[in-house]
Structure 1
Amino acid sequence: MEPSVLAGRRVIELGTMLAAPFASHILSQLGAEVIKVEPPRGDPTRSLVRGGPSGTFIAYSHGKKSVCIDLADPEGHAAFCQLLATADVFVHNLAPKAARKLRLTRADCEAVNPALVYCHIRGYATGPQADDLASNPVAEASTGVMEANRVNGRPSRLGPSYHDQFAGAYAVIGILAALLEGKKDGRGAREVEVGLYETGLHVASRDLAGVQLKQQLLGRPEREPHGEFSMPGYGAYATADERWMYLLILNDAHWQKFCEAMGLPQATDASLATLRRRKKAREQVEEIVKSAMAARSFDDVAARLKAGGVGCTEVMPIERVLEAPQARQPGTLRPVRYRGLDFDVPEFPRSGAAQAPTDTLPPPELGAHTVALLQAAGVTASACERLLARGAIAAANPDDFAWAPVRQEA
């Protein structure tokens, strides 16, 4: 088996919640050794569900090792620096003020390890808001996403923390670029800086450019219509048995195929043959599609659309997503066992995952690798004992939590 692309690289993650842990998760899936450094209380995702770890921790921390250090303790900080000296990459999402307080800025880390790739995922990149705090919903609110996503008229977050994950993915791109670049010009630590706000701007760039286009063409700001509403027949529709099917009717050929597959008279109706005409008759088209879907069972609709070459998929409830045959293909899911429970965790999508899977570890217990990794980095056994005794570092405690059982109704 060929070694993974990042085999032999050591990544130290100092991350909470999602952005930095997601970045190091991808690096782990690419073969890097990832050491998750956590404070005495652990990453907050360790205690979000009934007293124990959440899906975030299980999904994005398997394959990692855990070192528990109190970085506010001078001796704990010194031990961390010895570990940092052995790393190729350091990725964190501390607030800028916290990074300065803990002496973990780029300059601080460069003094410890001049060859380091230093990656900071922060709320805002350099600028007037550089020290402001931001989270995934803040990025959505400040870049136009939330204002357009309303629940009962109230601007609301999307749900999944996509901006955190985008920022983590952008960080990986920057880290890989820095590793490829090497130290050609003799610089010190190579810096990768990713702002959550700037990530949100980039993700929204299509819509932001669209508003500017309309301003210049029409002389007034006008938003691009939402993709679903600009294309009649493009969206989710309920079948007779109250299941939902998402239709991809994007162009004239799609419309023709849909009408033929569903046996509709509109298949020969020239008045609706072009997208421009269907847009003008939006309500009529929507009613045609809605009625056609509601008149048949889901299985009947699915068979007809598949036979007719119409793009579609069921709108899946989350509890059924992994039942799909496509999800069960080799290399798509990884079995992960944690505290007696079994999980199927989606893999990072990469070519050859089925033929050459990367090794993994179960999600680590807090501090499971503290002593071994610190000693390997040069911290003596007696120093580790002293640090353990004073609480500057911690080792794994298998009794640190127990998921609270669900109470059965009498």
Structure 2
Amino acid sequence: MQAVSATPINERERADPAGVDRPLSGIRVLAIENFVAAPFATMWLADAGAEVIKIETRDGGDHARGTSPVKPGIDGNPNGLSFFRTNRNKKSVTLDLKNPEGKAVFKALVAEADIFIENLRPNVMDRLGLGYEVLSKVNPKLIYGAISGFGHDDILPSPYGEFPAFDIVGQAMAGLMYRPERQDDKPTYLGFSLADVEVGIVGLYGLVLALFHRTRTGRGKKVDVSMYDASLILNEISVTMYSQSRKAAPPGVHAVTAPFGAYRAKDGYLVLAIVGEHIWKRFAETIGIPHLVDDPKYSDGVRRRANLAELDVHVNAWLSGRSREEAMRVLRAAGAPCAPVNDIGEIFECPHVAARNMILTLDDPVWGRVAVTGNPVKMSDVPEPEAHLPPLLGEHNGQVLRDWLRMTESDIARLKNEQVI
């Protein structure tokens, strides 16, 4: 497919073209963020028009900058490939938050911000003297977003609150690693940052809710989002079914219906999603087994699942004589949901992905052309978000301090000389 290229950057400018009114134009966001979860949320805020400022340490910044694979950057700092995934359209300001003057600068920025979001360990900001209680006094309208493994004590305390958490922790504790098909009883990591991305989406939802509520009340609030909580809602069908049966569904098998899952045609895999009796009837007629519709063993989804081995004999026999495209053409014409199981190369060739601008290309001076996923939220009268390169470490120190705090060049030079920024 033809990926959408980033608009050329004139001196790395990230402002939208004049006249473009995005949903969050004028909203100012500060972020102390690392890796994926919070950066994913703030990237979408930036796509929507918010001005997002990453507050980073002077000695490396966001840990994703140094996560392998890494190449030396044009600024002499590590340039990690992972950093491209979640940091387009942002600005970077370096600030020493352990320095009293650094704290003062940060509070001054907070006074001008609409949202502050962090995904540090719980209570780290409190120990710095910059927690919600302090910042809400600096700016009563501030929305403070906190993303963590298990939540913050001042909202709803968890016995696990101080434990560190990465993506695999969320997948494991929410029961998601027992859901994929597998050869033995060993749990399976899903192979991608599901928990990180999900908690970022949930965090983004909470921030937008708080923004909307502020328009009616004039008050800010703290939004507390736990990775464990966000991961658990992805396993919602297992929770509901287990509450009644006290049995866990077999790995990879949908809890309430069949056929549902991956099947092999002559030249590759496709998925079937036969949900509901009206679809089952159409499917059975299409593959030449209409007599099974009246068979008590297949009368509903739960019974079909219980007799799946026998049912699969018929399904596999029909698919074995057809290519994947041929099978899908027949099934789609009959209204039976199906789809190819794409490998990553096929995603790059998918016409839907191209038509919906779901792969963007960043032209980086070090890595060259880097593909990243696009934004799935499409709106009328709002052009697609541009895909500007992630910021260099501290690239916008001067610009932000001038624009937000009206500092002079001598003020900025002094802060730099004193290693505050």
Query: Does TM-score exceed 0.5, indicating one fold?
Result: yes
Answer yes or no: is the 8 Å Cα contact 2:22–2:382 preserved in 1.
no
For residues 5-44 of structure 1, the C-alpha deviation after alignment (integer angstroms, 9 at most, x for no partner) is 1110001111111111111112112211111122221212
Q: CA deviation at 1:331?
A: 4.7
Establish whether residue 210 from structure 1 lines up as the match of residue 233 from structure 2. no
What's the % identity of the aligned pairs? 28
Paired residues of 2:360 and 2:387 also in contact (CA < 8 A): no
Q: Distance in 1 between matches of 2:395 and 2:23?
A: 26
Partner SS for 2:190: coil
Alignment match of 2:377 (pick from 350, 366, 375): 350
Taking structure 1 as the reference length, what is the TM-score of the superposition? 0.83
- Pairing 1:234-245 to 2, within 5 Å after superposition: 234-241=260-267, 243-245=268-270
* Match in the other structure for 1:144: 175
Contact 1:232/1:286 (8 A) holds in 2 = no
Pairs aligned (count): 383
Q: Is 2:268 the partner of 1:250?
A: no
CA distance in 1 between counterparts of 2:407 and 2:144 reads 23
- Distance in structure 1 (CA, Å) of the matches to 2:132 and 2:385: 31
Matches within 5 A, 1:78-89: 78-89=104-115
> Does the Cα contact within 8 Å between 1:333 and 1:346 map onto a contact in 2?
yes
| 1:16 aligned partner, one-letter code | N
* Pairing of 1:10-409 with structure 2 (within 5 A): 10-39=28-57, 40-52=59-71, 53=79, 56-125=82-151, 126=153, 127=157, 128-149=159-180, 152-182=184-214, 189-214=220-245, 221-224=246-249, 227-228=253-254, 230-241=256-267, 243-262=268-287, 264=288, 266-269=289-292, 270-271=294-295, 274-275=299-300, 278-339=304-365, 341-352=368-379, 356-376=383-403, 377-393=405-421
Task: Return the letter of the residue paired with 1:267.
Answer: P
**What amino acid sits opposite 2:212 in the alignment?**
L
Please give the per-residue CA displacement for 1:262-296, whole angstroms capped at 9, x wherever unaligned. Answer: 4x3x2344436633653453211112212322232
1:140 is displaced (CA, Å) by 2.3
In 2 relative to 1, CA 203–136 (structure 1 residues): closer, same or farther, beyond 3 Å? same
Change (3 A) 1:267 1:105: same
Residue 183 of structure 1, CA deviation: 7.2
Instruction: Indicate if the aligned counterparts of 1:338 and 1:363 stay in contact, CA closer than 8 A.
Output: no
Query: How many Å separate the matches in 1 of 2:387 and 2:410?
Result: 31
Describe the shift of the 1:213–1:229 C-alpha distance in structure 2 as closer, same or farther (beyond 3 A).
Answer: closer
| Whole-angstrom CA distance in 1 between matches of 2:140 and 2:66 | 36
Shift of 1:259: 4.2
How far apart are the structure 1 equivalents of 2:123 and 2:222? 18
Partner of 1:405: none
Offset, 1:185:
5.9
Shift of 1:367: 1.4
Tell me how far apart the structure 2 counterparts of residues 2 and 372 of structure 1 sit (CA, whole Å).
Answer: 21
Alpha-carbon separation, structure 1, partners of 2:323 and 2:35: 42
3-state DSSP of counterpart to 1:146 = helix
CA displacement at 1:152 relative to structure 2: 4.2
Matched with 1:408 is none
- Gaps of at least 5 residues in structure 1 are 215-220, 394-410
Give the letter aligned to residue 209 of structure 2: A
Cα RMSD (Å): 2.8
SS of equivalent residue, structure 1 residue 387: helix
5+ residue gaps in structure 2?
A: 1-18, 72-78
